[in-house]
Amino acid sequence: MQQLNFEPVLTAEKEEILREQVRDFLKQYGAFKPGNMIDSWSVCDPEFSRCLAKKGWLGMTWPSEYGGGDKSYLERYVVIEELLAAGAPVGAHWVADRQSGPLLLRFGTQEQREHFLPKIVNGECFFAIGMSEPNSGSDLASIKTHAERVEGGWVVNGSKIWTSWAHACHQMITLCRTAPATENRHAGLSQFIVDLEAEGLTIRPIVTLAGEKHFNEIFFDNVFVPDNRVVGKLNDGWNQVMAELAFERSGPERFLSSYQLLEAAIRVLRQAELAQQADTIIGQYVARLMVLRQMSLSVANQLQQGKLPVNEASVVKDLGTSFEQELPEAMRLILAIEPRPSVDQGIQRLLSDAILKAPSFSLRGGTREILRGIIARGLGLR
């Protein structure tokens, strides 16, 4: 059985000074659209992303030779949690900053780093994740999109689905089959950087149940990808995807998606006469949030030390998404109000948004059942 490690870590003055800078920035920037505040890391606002870029808050942990900030993962943690808690629309650059950039730093060529990283840092290049397909969700190794060797590169055919913000992104890290599966089903997969304006590529939006144009279906009809856009080792894409997971699953976005509702609920309850009865519920949720922050910070610190705590990241994501899904359920019972998508602001709108968006929290980035399977493997059960 592998030990799960969540050694607590405290933030120091360096991080807290940065935190104040983010708070000052947010104060100056002004209020965000209330309708965007739930799950704000799924809200795409390129202008806002460029404001953050100007502050130096994209690619913070990357080396300065690529335009990065040479900052620690703890410093990045502080910045992103401040933005998320405030409900800031950070969706446009989120994937590039969180995982595509780190992927290129880890596995990319020098040319790829020099080409893409400065653009990401400047808020000029957004990345999408092209993994899921119509017939391959949890069972990612079963993907059918394939690439064939041609002169100078590869030709890709197939389709991807549920691709968040592909219509607003520039590039997509695309997982393709480049060799037939062997006995090892994870062999023969490769990652490509695909230009989303490439010839032969079609993006069709899919509207979510909450009425948003969020994800897409993407069709590849003989899309050419040059050799210099292969990421890392050919046919070793699976291991590279696994290495991304510790980044993808452990951050504060995995428990803050409905946080704005908690603050609003406290504001409303404070005015109400029956506030006292709500104390216990509020306290329970606050305690869960306190531990989640501590666990997520601990993972950030382990990433800083060069570790890849994939199991710990799964724990954070499963506990975290349960928290952000259960929060609206608990708040509706103590608030005793009806959710209203029709109003522009106020708690009824937040509640409505939280309820309508909550199902996705435990799906994107690996479903609850898959995460628990990973944890069970770490326990030595599989």
Ligand X SMILES: Cc1cc2nc3c(=O)[nH]c(=O)nc-3n(C[C@H](O)[C@H](O)[C@H](O)COP(=O)(O)OP(=O)(O)OC[C@H]3O[C@@H](n4cnc5c(N)ncnc54)[C@H](O)[C@@H]3O)c2cc1C
Catalytic center residues? 248
Check binding of 346 to another protein (CB under 8 A): no
Q: Are 213 and 277 in contact (CB under 8 A)?
A: no
Q: Are 103 and 239 in contact (CB under 8 A)?
A: no
Check binding of 129 to ligand X (CB under 6 A): yes
Say which residue the tokens 């100007």 belong to: 54
Contact letters for another protein, residues 245-284 (x by CB under 8 A): --------------x--xx--xx-xx----xx-xxxxxxx
The interface partner of residue 279, options being ligand X, another protein, none and the CB cut-off 5 to 8 Å by kind, is: another protein
Q: Which is closer to ligand X, CB of 234 or CB of 363?
A: 363
Contact letters for another protein, residues 195-234 (x by CB under 8 A): ----------------------------------------
Check binding of 348 to another protein (CB under 8 A): no
Q: Which is closer to another protein, CB of 15 or CB of 248?
A: 15
Distance CA 152, CA 147 (A): 13
Instruction: For the CB of residue 373, give the shortest distance to ligand X in the complex, in Å.
Output: 6
The interface partner of residue 127, options being ligand X, another protein, none and the CB cut-off 5 to 8 Å by kind, is: none
Pairing state between β 153-161 and 213-226: antiparallel
Check binding of 26 to another protein (CB under 8 A): no
# residues contacting ligand X (CB under 6 A): 19
Evaluated on CA atoms 66, 67, 68, 70, the torsion sign reads: positive
In this structure, the number of other CB atoms found within 10 A of the CB of residue 224 comes to 18
**Of 121, 113, 120, nearest in space to 169 by CA:** 120
Residue nearest to ligand X (CB): 137
Say which residue the tokens 């690529």 belong to: 66
Q: Which is closer to ligand X, CB of 161 or CB of 350?
A: 161
The interface partner of residue 8, options being ligand X, another protein, none and the CB cut-off 5 to 8 Å by kind, is: another protein
The interface partner of residue 11, options being ligand X, another protein, none and the CB cut-off 5 to 8 Å by kind, is: another protein
In this structure, the number of other CB atoms found within 10 A of the CB of residue 182 comes to 10
- For residue 17, give every residue at least 6 positions away whose Cβ sits within 8 Å of its Cβ, in sequence order, or none: none
In order of 247, 256, 282, the CA distances from 357 in angstroms are 22, 13, 21
Pairing state between β 189-195 and 171-177: antiparallel
Instruction: For the CB of residue 12, give the shortest distance to another protein in the complex, in Å.
Output: 8
Stretch (H or E) spanning 95: helix 91-95
Question: Which of 106, 115, 332, 364: binder of ligand X (CB under 6 A)?
Answer: 364
Check binding of 138 to ligand X (CB under 6 A): yes
Question: Which of 46, 118, 137, 153: binder of ligand X (CB under 6 A)?
Answer: 137
Q: Where does this chain touch another protein (CB under 8 A) — which range of 154-162, 196-204, 312-320, 343-351?
A: 312-320
Q: Where does this chain touch ligand X (CB under 6 A) — which range of 4-12, 159-167, 290-298, 313-321?
A: 159-167
Question: Which of 39, 45, 75, 81: binder of another protein (CB under 8 A)?
Answer: 81
In sequence order, what are the beta bridge partners of 114? none
Distance CA 26, CA 88 (A): 8
Distance CA 235, CA 177 (A): 8
Sequence-ordered alpha helix ranges (H) in 221-274: 237-249, 259-271
Distance CA 354, CA 327 (A): 9
Check binding of 239 to another protein (CB under 8 A): no
Pairing state between β 171-177 and 127-130: parallel
The interface partner of residue 131, options being ligand X, another protein, none and the CB cut-off 5 to 8 Å by kind, is: ligand X
Q: Are 172 and 166 in contact (CB under 8 A)?
A: yes
Given the rule CB under 6 A, which residues bind ligand X? 128-132, 137-138, 162-164, 215, 360, 363-364, 366-367, 369-370, 373
Given the rule CB under 8 A, which residues bind another protein? 1, 4, 6-12, 16, 19, 23, 81, 85-86, 259, 262-263, 266-267, 269-270, 275-276, 278-284, 286-295, 297-298, 312, 315, 318-319, 369, 371-373, 375-376, 378-382
